[in-house]
A and B are shown apart, each in its own frame.
Chain A
């Protein structure tokens, strides 16, 4: 099969504008977009830059936009695109560092803001914590997040509102407050009770749509909102603390 790749190129330290470069690529085998990019790099143009590591859709390195669709390049098979023309672009709404490599710092910084670590209390229980499997099942949906950045990059609110935490961070927060071991006080996480936090989301579900791991982060945001309301009511009721 013969393909024409149009790949977005940009080196902000040299180029004035991003531009598309064409590469023709031919293969008889089943190849992923990532494998094709690597071959194009090796054989045709060693200056082409992109990130990768695991090649099995678990490390979150290779998120990009292929023929308009957000996905991991390593799990996107050329054949599945059903087109001889393949347009490859970096994740939007993030600064391009070079070609398909984008600066994810805003994404990581948003994550840090929700204190993304278990607030467990006290000493390690001698025989471990006791947690029913159903409780673990409930958070596992969010635990599956590989922090690839697709949802953050695709979210229309992130692109407009600078301080919006974005889907992955908010879903991660929900993963922790839902964890029976997590003892963070309500006043700590109620900080997301704002437009920059849980209420910023316009429930457009773009994040759910683009997530390659079926995390459905917007489910987490909605659940977080419900929990915020419940906790708020609880904290207002002087008889039940």
Chain B
């Protein structure tokens, strides 16, 4: 049986950071369902935060200010010790990335350039034009080539195998060979990214189904704060491709159909550069009030920045607008609307990236440490993936060096693989039933409609009922294609089960949380309620159903206060 000391699942920024910081004397491998460079991290645009103080307006910046902005932005749900840890590590992380090869954009004098981003007191977002994810992911991949990291690409992890509270390994579907097999490991890190495609309208890649988070959940690992779903204010009308916050950071305006910069009415001080939850709701409110265009969108206007700046600092945005909307933002305002973008919640881990299951770790967007609380600031996710990916690699190496073997591990893994194979056979034997894409389409539309920017009890409860119906329908799902090699149908059928689980966990968390905090806005409870709800939601799959519990937030220096921008 294939066996490694450390298995990292995911080849995005978090996964590669973990691989590069793992002890090279151990046997380490990365499994990814796509080639690492095809991971969603490659699409990140706007930048990564660190209080370098390179911008003339950012001279007084410090990691403490960064931590404060992060905590305030989180609507005080972030664990303050972990947010501080991330911000403390930020500057060194940027210099490390630069030394590894990241070609950051520059200010005169040759220092790394920094642009303002939403919810930040100082301009502290480092960038490489608007292709920051591309350059960082490619750089870390290049370093993995240098270090001879072992990759298993186009392998989908279908199950995390846990026995008696201890992680044994995973089951994979090898797409090329249509094989289902166990991989044994002393410890496993999930760096499997977000689940954006649970929603119809999302900025995420087509592959972001959240099956990693789902696999952890089914193995009994608690999920934390999944009700906090970030909607990005500015996605391109139509395909919902992201238009980076950097466009507003560089000076772009949001304008309604009256030609007004409406953010004045919502956040007069920070205007377009308020945190995302606030801007996204403002846009949706304008659209709902009839101040949008075709009841669907408002304008993001960057024309006044001028052709030169747009070509230099936002070339990717321009290319996206030309390719996917047939317009040039140098001459025409960009039609935008909010769309699902990021998951603040995820696999519950501590500041060492360790979960409740021994030998199982998680980092990046699939994990919830929690540094982003109820709302993440732009530029903080890339930082999170690199900082905590690195911590995960180090901590898991320490763990593995001290870990004992588990008896019967192979047998348990083989059993699990066989069970899985039989399940696939079951889907194959049927020659009629439910097709995955219809079920998936229904779930996505449902989540968009019922668990979006604005929520209320009735709709959330209805949503849970429909999810139940969809679960029943899933029993009848079948494989129609005759061949299992490179079968996206099979991938989707497997991942759809996770999507159902995650949709349910998001909705239960949202229904129970009777308050408004950060991205979670309840029309029937419009105030934040610290007395009752300053706590993390934990949902665990136990005895065949989701069980809910709560956990305290770590409050440090900063007492929760009202957020004003």
A interface with B by C-beta (< 8 Å): 11, 13-14, 30, 38, 41-43, 45-49, 51-61, 75, 97-99, 101, 104, 111-112, 115-118, 120, 124-133, 136, 139-140, 143-144, 146-147, 179, 181
Nearest CB in chain A: distance from B197 CB, A: 10
CB atoms of A42 and B437 under 8 A apart = yes
Partner among A46, A58, A124 whose Cβ is within 8 Å of the Cβ of B487: A46
Which of A55, A59, A132 makes the CB contact (< 8 A) with B110?
A132
A54 and B40 within 8 A (CB): yes
Is A129 a contact partner of B99 (Cβ separation < 8 A)? yes
6 smallest CB-CB distances across A and B, nearest first, come from: A118-B101, A47-B481, A46-B481, A130-B110, A49-B486, A133-B106
**Can you list, as one digit per residue, whether each of B297-341 has a CB less than 8 Å from chain A (1) or not (0)?**
000000000000000000010011001100000000000000000
| A127, B129: Cα distance in complex, Å | 21
Least distance between B93 CB and chain A CB atoms (Å): 10
Number of interface residues of B (CB under 8 A): 65
Nearest-CB distance from B499 to chain A (Å)?
16
Q: In the complex the two chains form, is A144's CB within 8 Å of B103's CB? A: no
Q: Restricting to B445-480, which residues have a CB under 8 Å from any CB of A? A: 479-480
**A54 cross-chain contacts in B, Cβ below 8 A:** 38, 40, 42-43, 205-206
Chain A interface secondary structure, helix, strand, loop or mixed? loop
Residues of B within 8 A of A60 (CB): 37-38
Q: In the complex the two chains form, is B205's CB within 8 Å of A55's CB?
A: yes
Could you say which of B139-147, B280-288, B342-350 contacts chain A?
Answer: B139-147
Given pairs A58-B131, A179-B103, 9 additional interface contacts (CB within 8 A): A48-B481, A49-B485, A55-B241, A59-B42, A116-B145, A127-B95, A128-B111, A133-B108, A143-B128
Nearest-CB residue, chain A, relative to B489: A46
Contacts of B143 in A (CB 8 A): 117
Residue of B nearest to A76 (CB): B323
B437 contact set on A, CB distance < 8 A: 42-43
Provide the bound-state CA to CA distance between A30 and B95, in Å.
44
In Å, the complex CA distance between A111 and B483 comes to: 32
**Measured between C-beta atoms, what is the minimum distance from A127 to chain B in Å?**
7
Cα of A133 to Cα of B106 in the assembled complex, Å: 5
Chain A residues with CB under 8 A of B485: 11, 13, 49, 97-98
Determine which of B34, B146, B239 lies in contact with A53 in the assembled complex, contact meaning CB atoms within 8 Å: B34
Tell me, yes or no, whether B39 is within 8 Å of chain A by CB.
yes
Chain B residues within an 8 Å CB radius of A104? 35
Tell me the smallest distance from the CB of B310 to a CB of chain A, in Å: 15
Complex alpha-carbon distance, A197 and B154, angstroms: 30
Chain B residue nearest to A47 in the complex (CB): B481
In the complex the two chains form, is B131's CB within 8 Å of A136's CB?
no
Q: Is B98 an interface residue (CB 8 A)?
A: yes
A144-B206 contact in complex given A56-B43, A101-B486, A118-B100, C-beta closer than 8 Å: no
Q: Does B57 contact A (CB under 8 A)?
A: no
Task: Give A59 to B320 CA distance when docked, in angstroms.
Answer: 13
In contact, B134 and A146 (Cβ under 8 angstroms): yes
**Pairwise interchain contact A45-B324, C-beta atoms closer than 8 A:** no
Shortest distance in angstroms between B480's beta carbon and chain A's nearest beta carbon?
Answer: 5
Q: Contact flags (1/0) for B124-160 with A, using CB distance below 8 Å?
A: 0000110100110011001101100000000000000
CA–CA, A129 and B436, complex, Å:
51
Q: Are B481 and A140 in contact (CB under 8 A)?
A: no
Contact of B98 among A116, A129, A132, A147 (CB under 8 A): A129
- Find out whether the CB atom of A55 lies under 8 angstroms from the CB atom of B206: yes
A164 CB to nearest chain B CB (Å):
20
B107 within 8 A of partner (CB): yes
CB distance from A13 to the nearest CB of B (A): 7
- Among B35, B103, B134, B488, the residue within 8 A (CB) of A49 is B488
Q: Closest residue to A39 on the B side, CB-wise?
A: B437
A75-B38 contact in complex given A101-B486, A118-B142, A128-B98, C-beta closer than 8 Å: no
Q: How far is the CA of A133 from the CA of B142 in the complex (A)?
A: 23
Within 8 A of A (CB), among B214-256: 238-239, 241-242
A53 to B43, CA, bound (A): 10
Given A55-B205, A56-B324, A61-B38: A144 touches B482 (CB 8 Å cut-off): no
B99 vs chain A, min Cβ distance (A): 4
B418 at the A/B interface (Cβ < 8 Å)? no
Partner of B101, one of A45, A58, A120, A124: A120
For the complex, is B109 an interface residue (Cβ under 8 Å from A)? yes
CB neighbours of B131 from chain A (8 A) = 58, 143-144
> CA A14 – CA B112 in complex, angstroms?
54
B34→A125 contact, CB < 8 A:
no
Contact call B42/A58, Cβ cutoff below 8 A? yes
In this complex, what residue of B is CB-closest to A72?
Answer: B323
Q: How far is the CB of A63 from chain B (nearest CB, A)?
A: 11
B176 located at the interface, meaning its Cβ lies under 8 Å from any Cβ of chain A in the complex: yes
**B95 interface neighbour in A41, A57, A128, A144, Cβ under 8 Å:** A128
Interface residue? B181 (CB, 8 A)? no
Is A124 touching B95 in the complex (CB atoms < 8 A)? yes
Q: Mark B485-505, 1 if CB is under 8 A from A, else 0.
A: 111110000000000000000
Q: In the bound complex, how far is the Cα of B488 from the Cα of A98, in angstroms?
A: 12
A30 partner residues in chain B, CB cutoff 8 A: 238
A143: which of B96, B135, B145, B239 is its contact (CB, 8 Å)? B135
B104, B112, B323 interface centre (most CB from chain A within 10 Å): B323
Contact A140 B129 (CB under 8 A): yes
- What residues of chain B lie closer than 8 Å to A98, measured between beta carbons? 483, 485-486
Given contacts A60-B38, A128-B112, A136-B105, contact A14 B483 (CB under 8 A): yes
- Report the minimal beta-carbon distance from A176 to chain B, rounded to whole angstroms: 8
A127 neighbours in B (Cβ, 8 Å): 95, 111
Given A58-B134, A130-B111, are A49 and B487 neighbors across the interface (CB < 8 Å)?
Answer: yes
Docked CA distance A158–B395 (Å): 44
Residues of A near B241 (CB, < 8 A) are 55-56
Q: Collect the chain B residues with CB atoms within 8 Å of residue A128's CB.
A: 52, 94-95, 98, 111-112
Provide the residues of chain A in CB contact with B394, threshold 8 Å.
Answer: none
Question: Within the assembled complex, what's the spacing in Å between the Cα atoms of A43 and B486?
Answer: 17
Q: A13-B485, A46-B487 given as contacts; is B38 within 8 A of A53 (CB)? A: yes
How far, in whole Å, are A104 and B176 apart by their CA atoms in the complex?
Answer: 13
Please measure, in the bound complex, the distance between the C-alpha atom of A84 and the C-alpha atom of B534, giving whole angstroms. 58
Whether a CB of chain A sits under 8 angstroms from the CB of B435 is yes
Q: Is the CB of B106 within 8 A of A116?
A: no
Compute how far the CA of A41 lies from the CA of B105 in the bound complex, rounded to whole angstroms.
Answer: 41
Q: Is the CB of B486 within 8 A of A59?
A: no
Chain B residues lying within 8 Å of A131, measured Cβ to Cβ, are 106, 110
Q: How far is B480's CA from A51's CA once the two chains are assembled, in angstroms?
A: 19
B424 near A: Cβ within 8 Å?
Answer: no
Q: CB distance B101 to A53 under 8 Å?
A: no
Chain A residue nearest to B137 (CB atoms) is A59
At the interface, yes or no: B207 with Cβ under 8 Å from chain A? yes
Contact present for B103 and A136 (CB under 8 Å): yes
**Contact between chains at B489 and A58 (CB < 8 Å):** no
C-alpha gap A111/B35 in the complex (Å): 15
Contacts of A14 in B (CB 8 A): 483
Residues of chain A contacted by B96 (CB below 8 angstroms): 124
Distance in Å: Cβ of B430 to nearest Cβ of chain A: 13
